[in-house]
Amino acid sequence: MWTPLADSLSDLGESPFWHPQERALYWLDIAGCQLLRTHGPLAPGVEVQRWPMPQAPGCMAPARRGGLVIALRDGIYRAREWGGALTLLAAAGHDGATMRFNDGKCDPLGRFWAGSLNEAKTARNAALYCLDPRAGAALEPKAGDAMTANGLAFGGDTLYWTDTPSHAIRAYPWEPAANRLGPPREWRRFDARREGEPYGGRPDGATLDARGRYWVAMYEGAQLLCLGADGGTLAALPVPVQCPTMPCFGGDDLRTLFVTSARKGRPAEELAWQPDAGRVLMRRVDEPGRPVDFFDD
């Protein structure tokens, strides 16, 4: 039931969102150092535009006044238009030799959040940062003790965040107006890989639907999971790629489910029987998702 976008191949696809005014799907290729978006009516053979980046992009979000906010390796940048100049909004607080930004998005109040990733996998020094354009140009650290930040989602008074190698999703009490996080609890833990046993994957990027259900891509698990309020699995959707990376909802009615995927570093025999690895996949679903939140500067 999944349909690939023909011209959507990426090494490491991530950070998809549907732009309602442009009626376009945006995503990025971290390893390929480029931003991508559809151009023209959404269909399997739609034209895809590609914008090379000077550094690896980790995540991005649309801006209310046009353009994008983009997390590159060394900081958060603002682009007023597609292909335009990149203006530094806030420098990263990490060492770019071993760290980069990864998963992120805007919250409903227009602040941009971005998590980091330790590429060497030698320390749990990845963190979650927030940039409030109305409160200055500094990145404020909000959470830490992670190696690979992922799974960010905002559900009312709860913030969800994942450290992918730990196979666990955390839930933080969140006061949106004050932008304050309380102590986290482990909301859902998945089984780690065990020799000789089936492996369901580890939690990567995520999004919420209109009912507040949490949809998460299970990296190396070839599936998307829909989780309920208690973290239990409500549905599992197999995907024809081993490494889905992040879902989002789009289309005019927000009932098209998109998921990005990865092919970088995968075995040749796996890629031979999974030719859509690295492409964007899409399918129709019964329940709509939530619209993207815009950066409000």
The verdict on whether 204 is a catalytic residue reads yes
How is residue 139 annotated by DSSP?
P
Asked if residue 150 lies in contact with residue 217, where contact means CB atoms within 8 angstroms, the answer is: no
Q: How would you write 163-203 as a 3-class SS string?
A: EHHHCEEEEEEEECCCCEECCCEEEEECCCCCCCCCCCCEE
Report which residue type is found at 267: P
Closest alpha carbon to 77 in 28, 143, 149, 142: 28
d(CA 157, CA 173): 6
**Which residues, in sequence order, are CB contacts of 251 under 8 Å at separation 6+?**
18, 42
Residues 132, 204, 209, 293: which is the catalytic one? 204
Which uninterrupted H or E stretch holds 114?
strand 112-118
**Which residues, in sequence order, are CB contacts of 97 under 8 Å at separation 6+?**
none
3-state class (DSSP) for residue 234: strand
- Which tokens belong to 267? 């075995």
- Which tokens belong to 78? 């603002």
d(CA 105, CA 116): 13
Catalytic residue IDs: 204
